Chain A
Amino acid sequence: EVQLVQSGGGLVQPGGSLRLSCTASGFTSSSYAMIWVRQAPGKGLEWVSYISTGGNTIYYTDSMKGRFTISRDNAKNSLYLQMNSLRSEDTAVYYCARIVGETNWFDPWGQGTLVTVSS
């Protein structure tokens, strides 16, 4: 079964750091680009970051540049999101997703992990 399993969420104080992980199974993750998407409580989906198959092409949404770092370890079938200088507005469920097809749609998605930034 093709799936993405996430870990690493939790409660962190403002200004703190957290690293999210996303581990792939059922497929060769090195063959696929990946993204992170987040969803604040009661809000819509917001794209966070993109990484190419080899990790040499990376994009971020403007509001997260300089604070978030996406990376991957293809030997471990894993994707990461290092989040620094966290703010209350970063509180959200974070999803990883595989990019598939010629037109780059997203399937599957991880189960999501909640990040709460609060003192």
Chain B
Amino acid sequence: SYDLTQPPSVSVSPGQTASITCSGDKLGDKYASWYQQKPGQSPVVVIYQDRKRPSGIPERFSGSNSGNTATLTISGTQDMDEADYYCQAWDSSSVVFGGGTKLIVL
């Protein structure tokens, strides 16, 4: 089975840049999406097709994907960005999620 690996947590100070990585074998050959989930809420897509932002998602969210690693970058992190983030890709006909990263803004 295909696995996506994320760090359990990432800490960032307000106003700084946070980077969350997602690693998988030849992940760069697939498309990665990123989902934000706040406590008690449903996931919301923040990045799709590696680097595209849905309407309504702030410009401070950006993404990249190359080689074995996809990266979600949040520039000028705000308190409201504290949440769990999940990367996702398709492996053939299966949906694969990373284990999730808790972004701590402190």
Contacts and interface: CB of A to CB of B under 8 A. Distances in A.
A107 B45 contact: yes
Contacts, number: 60
Contact of A50 (B1, B44, B95, B98): B95
Looking at chain A, what size class is its interface with the partner chain?
20 to 34
A28 interface: no
A108 B48 CA distance: 13
B24 interface: no
A61 B97 contact: no
The contact size tier of chain B is 20 to 34
Interface of A is mostly: strand
B96 A47 contact: yes
Interface string B36-51: 0100001111001100
Interface of B: 1, 31, 33, 35, 37, 42-45, 48-49, 54, 84, 86, 88, 90, 93-100
